[in-house]
Amino acid sequence: MEKIWLKNYLPDTRHTLEYPGIPVFDFLSNSSRQYPDNNAIIFFDQKITYRELELMSSRFTRFLQDRGVKKGDRVAIMAPNCPQNVISFFGALKAGAVVVQHNPMYVEREIEHQLSDSGSETIVCLADLYPKVKNVRESTSLKHMITFNIDGSPAATGDDTTDLGLILEKYSADYQKVEVAPEDLALLQYTGGTTGLSKGCMLTHHNLVANVYQAVEVLGKNYRRGNDHVIGVLPLFHVYGLTCVMNMSVYTGVTMILFPRFEPKAVIEAIDNYKVGVFFASPTMLIAINSYKDIDNYDLRCLHTCISGSAPLPNEVKDSFMKLTGVEVVEAYGLSEASPVTHSNPVNGKVKTGSIGLPVPDTDMKVIDISTGEECRQKQPGELWITGPQVMRGYWNKWDETVNVLEDGWLKTGDVVEVDEDGYVYIVSRKKDVIIAGGFNIYPVEVEDVLFTYPKVQEAVVVGIADAYRGETAKAFIVLKEGESATEEEIITFCRSKLAAYKVPRFVEFRDQLPKSAVGKILRRLLKE
């Protein structure tokens, strides 16, 4: 495919970048020198400067080295967004270790799988999660368990653990420097496991550093370096939050306002109180803010950049948020296997509604016909393949899985897309989510976009269910806006006026809420089941 998207870059956006051969933790070291007294983190009433963050992470490094952790060892972190998560991440990397982020909502089976698969010998976890880890410890390689309370109070969990607070209080920051090369592993980022057991994406220091540079070039145009605030509600154990919230913030020397969970009122108050400039979000977060009952009591027009990712952004949600804040939400795209950012609409540039935008610098793409394996023409649906410096090395200990998604440096995303004449990409569907009804392809996103235009609908998702005659048929799951009521026939009748007959959902189920992942992505698999 001709790189037609380069013609639509902003004049000041470079087509190719120079990437320094540095480890990720140099971002923190550099900002601690440039902005030592700037707040790196605000967490409720706690404020931590860049100087303090560098010092505490170094103390954790010294502790790990005293416990025998060496280059290449895996250090697991299982915690919500909090200072201890950030400290542990950078401290482990300074020791040359590979970080393994765990979703704190995992059940014991999932924790055991990830610990065993990664071979982690050290874990840092919230004290409340300690019982789950203890129950599976015997079947893992764990040697060291570090626990903490989110408020910093002593974590009395057991004789087999060490309190992180005591480590940060007592240990020296004088650690043994470790030579870390750009191609050394930095992170095992486990996929969500929505199609089975999760797999560890092997991301190097170069992958993560390059993706920060790429994202800043496209998404960070408005950043006030050393003098801005970023909402940190996307989970840091997810690669979207890890790169775009944590690593981008630390690289640019701005302040992360961390939240352990998404609560609309808390986020809205923080934006207003701290005059926040940057908000990385998911569509479900924007929906919750748009519909917050007391939103008129707050001023959100301090925002200058809002990026939406993790799921398609409905037009109605985007328009409502712009009316509320004055900011045009920029839709971007990525995946764990690519650190994650690969595409974005340009901040301050031409934003095409419904599009995930253009490939970021140094990222090439092609679209492959699923049935023939041939490269597609413009506006012809096919699977998106990408290549660039942010693409993973492969899946940890899973060569068969790796060769299924990596081919000659190209990453097969599994997403069906179309590309327009300007190089803007439109997600049609996940390859596995396409509904085939009577030989016709139904792309759920198209049906969902129609449902979102109905004034009573707050959230909607469409999945394929078994049908004896058609093979599959479409079913819609809907959450109505507060105080609204509707019938199945009402929704179906509305869809008939907007969609071809074969695309109209045959069934509608109303729910109080929809199952979601930690970043707000609706879990279609659970609805299908």
* Residue type, position 480, single letter: L
Residues near 427 by Cβ (< 8 Å), separated by ≥ 6?
312, 333, 356, 415, 416, 417, 445
Domain contains 198: no
Tell me, yes or no, whether 126 and 272 share the same domain: no
Place of tokens 């410890």: 137
Give per-residue pLDDT as tens, 73-125: 999 999 999 999 999 999 999 999 999 999 998 889 889 999 999 999 999 99
Tell me, yes or no, whether 353 and 208 share the same domain: yes
Phi first, then psi: what are they for 520, rounded to 5°? 90, 10
Q: Cα–Cα distance between 487 and 476 in angstroms, integer?
A: 12
Question: Could you tell me the CATH number of the domain that includes residue 385?
Answer: 3.40.50.12780
Tell me, yes or no, whether 395 and 449 share the same domain: no
Tell me, yes or no, whether 329 and 229 share the same domain: yes
Tell me, yes or no, whether 459 and 504 share the same domain: yes
Half-sphere exposure of 39 (CA within 13 A, CB side): 16
Q: For residue 109, how far is the Cα from the chain centroid?
A: 23
- Give every residue of the chain whose pLDDT is below 70, as ranges: 1, 192-196, 431, 439
Residues near 460 by Cβ (< 8 Å), separated by ≥ 6?
448, 451, 452, 476, 477, 478, 479
* Last residue in a domain, options 389, 412, 430: 430
**Length of the chain, in residues:** 529
Domain contains 193: no
Residues near 297 by Cβ (< 8 Å), separated by ≥ 6?
none
Domain contains 157: yes
* Last residue in a domain, options 384, 411, 430: 430
Domain contains 404: yes
Q: Buried (b) or exposed (e) across 59-72, using 16+ Cβ within 10 A? A: bbbbbbbeeebeee
Judge whether 389 and 19 are in contact, CB under 8 Å.
yes
E strands, 105-205, where?
122-126, 144-148, 161-163, 185-190, 200-204
Tell me, yes or no, whether 163 and 272 share the same domain: no
Question: Could you tell me the CATH number of the domain that includes residue 145?
Answer: 3.40.50.980
Q: How many domains does the chain have?
A: 3
Tell me, yes or no, whether 373 and 423 share the same domain: yes
Residue 115: what pLDDT? Answer: 97
Tell me, yes or no, whether 83 and 157 share the same domain: yes
Domain contains 191: no
Judge whether 457 and 447 are in contact, CB under 8 Å.
no
Residue 132: what pLDDT? Answer: 95
* Last residue in a domain, options 430, 453, 475: 430
Tell me, yes or no, whether 40 and 173 share the same domain: yes
Question: Could you tell me the CATH number of the domain that includes residue 498?
Answer: 3.30.300.30
Range of the domain at 487: 435-528
Residue 434: what pLDDT? Answer: 77
Tell me, yes or no, whether 425 and 439 share the same domain: no
Domain contains 52: yes
Tell me, yes or no, whether 350 and 244 share the same domain: yes
Tell me, yes or no, whether 472 and 403 share the same domain: no
